[in-house]
């Protein structure tokens, strides 16, 4: 029988038992960090994953484990670090070669230079800890050549200097299994104006005889179904959408199919599109839907050489990230005549229905990014249906590279397309002309002698299609022509910069005490 020694052993015996217990604890300390090992200095090729008790390694000229090279390898350890005392700790990193330490997602020390490959030695950093608080831990390391070593110590007024023990570390939390199924988000309004509910769906196969859910009406509602779709085969899949009214199908960030006429509310009918997918590779998928009036239905099918025709099942999907990036539809190259009215809708979406803002650059003169509005389409208490469009009458012939961007609170996406304006130039009026060239208009008053200098760079597209005149006014009412006093000549093309531009130059003497106000404008008249 084992006798208790708590009351009958000598102090020296009790001390021996305590030391033995401490040694046993240290020998059986849990392996508490996730260790990942790679070939290459920059975490290039995964070789091994294991659990390590702490950061106290001296590999010398050897390797961390069989299958890992002696040189040119790297490693990463992740988990949680918990201090026993509140206060400032000094961390000491001894590394040969480089390391990078992050705590709670913030870089504490960065000596990670795989291209350099030099010895780093000791790195010392002060860090504030709160007793008992788990701090996410991430340490990266690379070895170039020669000896290999990495040790992490700590010290504080309440903590003896030591290698940070296994008891202070914990393995990273295992991520919860991804939920299966479509995520369906339902909105009041045709354009996702008012979120009403979110629920899991086994598939998209609906024919509603009334409202699809409490809080919605049988008309003027919209839905977003989203998820990460994982196919079972590496094949070209045919997706078929059957809907009344409109739908947009997005796969892997691309607008694959669109029957989206919110103001018109026309029936979408049946639409099929083919998409190549890779077995086991998840791709984001989003089906936007709106109901205008009348009957309401939506269904999404798929098939491939090995996949039987069926409703795309929820078992093939897991949830997207909580706040995914927006997507924007590509715009094809466009060619229009100068002076012709255009109205080009922009299609963009975000799986949660987050509000998007839009910007555009490189637009032809006479075209702006506008938001069209239809207040009468939604019910009372809802904002009007709104759609971004590029609209106007482009008046200057040329080739334009246009970039349109859609932004959510978390990210921005862009699409670019080329726009060719053909035909003779159209007279835009003096205000539009000045608006086009004002970024290159320079007006300076010089002394000795007092004079006014005006200069402006004009692209060839201006001087080719338009007669340029310079006008001056004292009061913005009566304008005098000063073209005869101005010079317009072609600039020489710089080497490897064959821009064809002209310089408009004008000078006018001024009395030394002149304080009158003068206004200038450039007039463009279309050549016939």
CA–CA dist 397, 204 (Å, integer) = 47
In the predicted model, is pLDDT for residue 4 greater than 70? no
Lowest mean pLDDT among 229-243, 252-266, 285-299: 252-266
Cβ contacts of 406 within 8 Å, gap of 6 or more: 326, 328, 346, 348, 356, 357, 358, 412, 413, 414
Provide the 8-state DSSP code for 494: B
Confidence of residue 116 (pLDDT cuts 50, 70, 90): confident
Tokens matching residue 38: 């790679």
pLDDT of residue 324: 85
CB atoms within 10 A of CB 17: 12
> Is the confidence at residue 5, as pLDDT, over 70?
no
**More confident position, 523 or 223:** 223
DSSP-derived 3-state class of residue 180: strand
Under a CB-based contact definition with an 8 Å cutoff, are residues 85 and 129 in contact? Answer: yes
Q: What is the pLDDT of residue 433?
A: 54
Cα dist from 178 to 69, 224, 228, 317, 326, whole Å: 36, 19, 10, 9, 22
Q: What is the pLDDT of residues 318-328, one digit of tens each?
A: 988 887 889 99
Residue 26, pLDDT > 50, answer no
Backbone angles phi, psi at 14, to 5 degrees: -65, -40
pLDDT of residue 441: 65
Cα–Cα distance list, 123 to 144, 387, 429, 522 (Å): 18, 55, 67, 64
User: What pLDDT, on a 0 to 100 scale, did the predictor assign at position 401?
Assistant: 94
Confidence of residue 432 (pLDDT cuts 50, 70, 90): low
- Tell me the backbone φ, ψ of residue 440, rounded to 5 degrees: -110, 10
Q: What is the DSSP string of 402-447?
A: EEEEEE-SS-EEEEEEEEEEESS-----HHHHHHHHGGGEEEEEET
Q: Give CA–CA dist 259/248, Å, rounded.
A: 6
- Please give the residue that has the higher pLDDT: either 163 or 423: 163
Instruction: State which H helix or E strand residue 121 sits in.
Output: strand 121-129
Q: Name the token pair of 273.
A: 């599109």
Percent of the chain past pLDDT 70, that is, above it, reads 86
Q: What is the structure's pLDDT at 460? A: 72
CA-wise closest residue to 54 among 151, 124, 136: 151
Q: How far is CA 445 from CA 479, 517, 522, in A?
A: 20, 12, 18
Residue range 445-477, pLDDT digits in tens: 777 777 888 888 877 767 777 888 888 888 888
pLDDT at position 65 is 92
Averaged pLDDT, 42-49: 89
Instruction: Please report which confidence band the pLDDT of residue 99 belongs to, taking 50, 70 and 90 as the band edges.
Output: very high
The pLDDT-based confidence of 260 (bands split at 50, 70, 90) is very high
Query: Rounded to whole angstroms, how far apart are CA atoms 124 and 92?
Result: 5
The sign one gets for the Cα dihedral 37, 112, 160, 78 is negative
Average pLDDT, the chain: 85
* Range list of β-strands (E), 362-397: 367-374, 385-392
Domains in the chain, ordered, with CATH? 31-170 (3.90.182.10), 182-318 (3.90.182.10), 329-422 (2.60.40.10), 430-526 (2.60.40.10)
pLDDT tens per residue across span 345-384: 999 999 999 889 999 999 998 899 999 998 888 877 788 8
């Amino acid at each position: 029988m084992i006798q208790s020694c708590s009351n009958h052993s000598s102090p020296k015996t009790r001390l021996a038992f305590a030391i033995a217990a401490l040694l046993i604890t240290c020998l059986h300390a849990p392996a508490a960090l996730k260790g990942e090992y790679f070939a290459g200095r920059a975490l290039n090729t995964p070789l091994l994953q294991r659990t390590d008790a702490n950061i106290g390694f001296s590999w010398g000229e050897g390797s961390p484990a069989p299958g890992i090279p002696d040189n040119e390898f790297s490693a990463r350890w992740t988990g949680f670090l918990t201090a026993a005392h509140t206060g400032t700790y000094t961390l000491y990193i001894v590394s040969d070669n480089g390391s990078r330490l992050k705590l709670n997602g913030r870089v504490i020390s960065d000596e990670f230079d795989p291209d350099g490959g030099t010895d780093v030695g000791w790195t010392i950093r002060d860090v504030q800890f709160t007793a008992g608080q788990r701090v996410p831990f991430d340490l990266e390391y690379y070895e170039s050549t020669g000896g290999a070593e990495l040790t992490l110590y700590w010290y504080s007024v309440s903590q003896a200097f030591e290698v940070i023990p296994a008891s202070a570390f914990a393995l990273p939390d295992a991520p919860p299994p991804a939920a299966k199924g479509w995520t369906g988000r339902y909105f009041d309004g045709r354009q996702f104006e008012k979120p009403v509910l979110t629920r899991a769906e086994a598939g998209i196969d609906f024919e509603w005889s009334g409202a699809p859910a409490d809080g919605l009406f049988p008309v003027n509602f919209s839905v977003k179904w989203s998820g990460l779709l994982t196919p079972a085969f590496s094949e070209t899949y045919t997706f078929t959408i059957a809907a009344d009214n409109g739908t947009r199908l997005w796969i892997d960030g691309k607008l694959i199919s669109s029957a989206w006429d919110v103001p018109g509310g026309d029936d979408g009918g049946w639409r099929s599109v083919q998409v190549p997918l890779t077995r086991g590779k998840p791709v984001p998928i989003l089906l936007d839907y709106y109901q205008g009036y009348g009957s309401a239905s939506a269904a999404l099918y798929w098939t491939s050489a090995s996949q039987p025709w069926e409703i795309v099942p929820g078992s093939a999907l897991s949830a997207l990230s909580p706040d995914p990036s927006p997507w924007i539809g590509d715009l094809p190259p466009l060619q229009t005549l100068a002076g012709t009215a255009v109205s080009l809708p922009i299609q963009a979406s975000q799986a949660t229905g987050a509000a998007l803002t839009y910007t555009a650059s490189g637009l032809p003169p006479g075209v702006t990014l506008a938001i069209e509005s239809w207040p009468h389409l939604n019910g009372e208490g809802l904002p009007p249906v709104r759609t971004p469009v590029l609209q106007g009458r482009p008046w200057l012939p040329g080739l334009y590279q246009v970039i349109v961007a859609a932004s959510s609170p978390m990210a921005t996406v862009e699409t670019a397309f080329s726009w060719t304006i053909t035909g003779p130039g159209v007279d835009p009026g003096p205000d539009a002309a000045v608006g086009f060239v004002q970024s290159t208009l320079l007006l300076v008053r010089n002394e000795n002698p007092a004079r006014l200098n005006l200069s402006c760079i004009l692209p060839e597209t201006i001087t080719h299609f338009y007669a340029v005149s310079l006008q001056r006014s004292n009061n913005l009412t009566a304008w005098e022509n000063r073209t005869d006093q101005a010079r317009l000549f072609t600039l020489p093309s710089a080497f490897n910069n064959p821009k064809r531009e002209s310089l408009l130059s004008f000078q006018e003497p001024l009395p030394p005490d002149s304080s009158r106000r003068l206004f200038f404008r450039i007039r463009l008249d279309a050549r016939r």
